[in-house]
């Protein structure tokens, strides 16, 4: 029987609630109560600070970001600083991982494949070193990755810029790269070509296919997730 990955769409979820949800599900996955999962969602405007980030990568006072309506959260994922906001597709795989590097490479291939179906030629940049982890269109970055693996189970994952505002990336040293240029699916194509809802379905299929699995859509209630935590469905 073909391996199955459960896929759950959560809507817009505050970052702290998203972390708490991942931890609860990670414990259930570790105990064998749940199979491998992929959560797909959006976050309100948020900067996340990874384990490798330096203080100078947030160059403005916290009050500046608060005035812009952007929360700042320190996280246990790998990587540096990135931005999340509405219109960006965030994917949190909660799954067994034997090889962290291959886990990252598989996500990169899945994202590049989904974008390629829309005529966007995207790729990983393995040869350029760990600071270039993610998915790129020419020299422009369209997706960021950062994971945490504990006792063989992953949390955190990927963020693909679909139709989100890119300006907040310019207020930090995004991904630890001072000269990085961020892009999005909307910027690389006709903005009406495919919105987040359609790309979310495409990405779920590509992710499961890259793992040699079929997807099984499940509701938040099936996973014991209280959707009242969501800002919008």
Select which of 8, 175, 198, 208 is catalytic: 175
User: What CA–CA distance (Å, rounded) separates 110 from 194?
Assistant: 17
- Is 8 a catalytic site residue? no
Q: How far apart, in Å, are the Cα atoms of 176 and each of 8, 83, 129, 182, 193?
A: 31, 12, 13, 13, 31
Q: Which residue shows structure tokens 């994922």?
A: 77
Left, alpha or beta for 150 (phi > 0: left; psi -120 to 50: alpha)?
Answer: beta
Active site members: 175
């Amino acid at each position: 029987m073909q391996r199955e990955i459960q896929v759950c769409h959560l809507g817009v979820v505050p970052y702290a609630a998203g972390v708490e949800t991942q931890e609860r599900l990670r414990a259930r996955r570790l105990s064998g109560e749940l199979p491998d999962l992929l959560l797909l969602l959006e976050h309100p405007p948020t900067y996340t600070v990874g384990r490798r980030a330096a203080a100078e990568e947030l160059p403005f006072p916290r009050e500046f970001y608060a005035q812009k309506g952007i929360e700042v959260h320190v996280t246990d994922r790998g990587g540096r600083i990135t931005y999340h906001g509405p219109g960006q597709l965030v994917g949190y795989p909660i799954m067994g991982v034997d090889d962290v590097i291959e886990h990252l490479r598989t996500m990169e291939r899945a994202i590049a494949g989904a974008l390629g179906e829309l005529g966007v030629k995207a790729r990983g940049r393995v040869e350029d070193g760990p600071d270039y982890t993610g998915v790129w269109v020419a020299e422009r970055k369209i997706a960021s990755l950062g994971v945490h693996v504990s006792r063989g189970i992953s949390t955190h994952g990927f963020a693909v810029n679909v139709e989100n505002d890119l300006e907040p990336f310019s207020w930090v040293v995004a991904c630890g790269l001072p000269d990085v240029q961020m892009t999005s699916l909307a910027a690389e194509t006709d903005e009406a070509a495919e919105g987040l809802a359609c790309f979310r379905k495409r990405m779920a299929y590509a992710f499961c296919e890259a793992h040699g699995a079929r997807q099984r859509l499940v509701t938040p209630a099936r996973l014991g997730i209280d959707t009242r935590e969501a800002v919008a469905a």
